Structure 1
Amino acid sequence: MRWWKAKSSEATGDSTTVGIAVEPDRVTFVACKGDGDEHPRIIAWETSAIDSPADVQSAAQRFVDENDLQGWPARATLSPEDYSLRLVERPSNVPDDELVDATRWLIRDLIEFDVESAELAILSVPKDSSRARTPRMFVVAARHEPVLELAQMIDAAGLRVSGFDVVESAMLALDTRMPEVVGGSAVLRIGDKSSVLTLSNEAHLYLARTLSVSGDSIEVAAQCALEEDDPASSNVIELLDPLLLDVQRSLDYYESEYGQAPASRLALLASDVEMTPLLPALCEALRPLQVESYEFERFFDFDEAPPSQALPSIALAAGAAVAGAEGVGNALVPSILRPQRGGFGLSSAVGIAASIALLLGIYSGISWFMLDKERGELAALDADRAGLSAEIESLHAEAEANAANVDPQGELETLRAQRDIELSMLRDIGRHGASSDASFSTLLAGLARQDLEGVWLERIEFANGGESISIEGRSLQADDVPAFLRGLGREKSFERRRFRQFEMARTDDTPGLAFRIATLADGDGDGRDRR
């Protein structure tokens, strides 16, 4: 369901960004042009209710198509349920490029999802202004799956993902649009079930807290302020006590922990609750702190001003759009989608996938070529076998024809010589067949599958084209060696081989028993099995 929309015919230019804010029940888009000294201009915006990721995809596609935003960079503020923000001590002697990996173990017990797959970003607190015993830093841990899914939807809509922000960094970006003040600035955003308070100075985040203050309780106080003759009466302040206590504790921590001058401003971001009636009570209770509403139209220009009920979500989307160095950059973008240089998009991932597919295709082609070559060699061996068989038959025929002219003793000698020739030829053929059937790769594969704990091989030797095999190794238990041999006997490449040598000995300098097993080529040794 689309709620509101304003549209301009302008859709190109320098410093253009699409800001996106994802909340549990809605998604909001803004198209922002210009930055730096000039006010950013919101040329188009839209907010839509969502029930599923498919709603986010369709809303993004519609916003891009209707406003001709194809190819624009986009930054998104993540939903609070998809990330966790923690303040931790910065590890010492860790380079900046290794800080993210070194931080994972620090927050392992601080977040409720898998830290190994999480996307991490660092928001550093300036070292020279910290009076804590060790420097501090904020760690943003975002769930990998929602971030990756959102990046894919943004890319599919025709935008280029340039990074992700969180609510706190978006609030920091909005704060930096305001005039600088001495001592720092606080920003408060009232939510339905909880609220967020940030404290910053010179575009650096020093404090971020989630307050247990609901929009309903603040709405009760605002209604009381409207009904009272004095909007700063004790009745109104009493209703604001939980909020005032959290704000004052945060201000005190900021001053004492970081040695900063007292914050001089508290800006109230737009929320579902109208906060204007509470300004007198907040100013009175937090004196001398200056309390004011964040005037969105003062820091952002609109082609068409949005209704007030749209401003809370538009503010988060605009904060992501203008987030610069104070944001988290592209640190939360999944590494598989992060560009090495230049622009960003899923095209990089598609290129990687295409390269992998090409390599697999080349490997498959080489495999088929080798298989065809081996088939040709087998066919040649069959032809040789047929030729040798024909030659043997010819010799038999010649011997029979000459039988009448040969004396018995000479015939016997001739037959014996002929038999020796035939046996020699058959052995040669058998050796060729064995070498083809059990190549080195199949023999090694068979050995690799004998994964017995406590048995390891130290030397493997093949000779005579793989006909003779020698294996040397060690075993912690003598009983494991027979198990190793039985496993080899079940391998197809070893099932017709017989090990004719077996040696086992214990040595003092190394653990376990040393063993050696080997086959012998035909004609080697004395023909007896050695086991």
Structure 2
Amino acid sequence: MSQQINLFNPRFLKQKNYFSAAALAGVLGVVLLGALAAGMVAKQRAAALEAQAAVVKGELAQSETRKTAALTELAPRQRSATVQQELDQAEAENRALLGVSAILDKGEFGNTRGYSAYFKAFARSRVNGLWLTGVQIVGAGNEIGLQGRTLQASLLPGYLGGLSREPVLKGTSFGHLEMNQPKPAAAVPGAPALSAAAPGGEGASSAPAVAPYIEFRLQAMPAGAKAEAP
């Protein structure tokens, strides 16, 4: 009987070395290249972030500058004494002008338009045989006095009618009328005496001559006054 002996031992087989120096070098090279690439990418991103941060920082600085300027402008300023005095003076002048305007509107200051319109009205209302010798106007025309002469008393109503049609005298009532014959002038020593001719032209009277006109006086009535009979 034969016996077989197995002399094969796996330990004696040639082993393959998968982690050789070349393989390790290749792996390390790949790792280094990856690390370098990652570092470059990170560096670029960091540079971009730094640039963005610089822009934001500049904008923030500008905002702070604008904020400071706005706060400076909005800060309460101290009033100038000169400006305050000018303002007070302007307000005082304005109040004075308003007061004057109120007085003028009420007519308390009298006639502010002058009296030329009254004299023009008197001139337009003239009547032949009647003339004025004096005019008195007080205040805003509420008191008007007229003195004059007329050859005939019958001319006065027509003259008053003409005055009543004048716009400036509208509403004015001449309620007081006085009429009188002038007194004869006193004889002057050494001068010839004036005498009135007797009826029929016969002889002369020793009485002084009578003036050939009648003097009259008109006075405008204040509001609410009662007319006086002549």
TM-score band by shorter chain is 0.3 to 0.5
Higher strand share: 1
Higher helix share: 2
**TM-score (structure 1 length as normaliser):** 0.18
Larger RCO (CA under 8 A, 6+ residues apart): 2
**TM-score (structure 2 length as normaliser):** 0.40
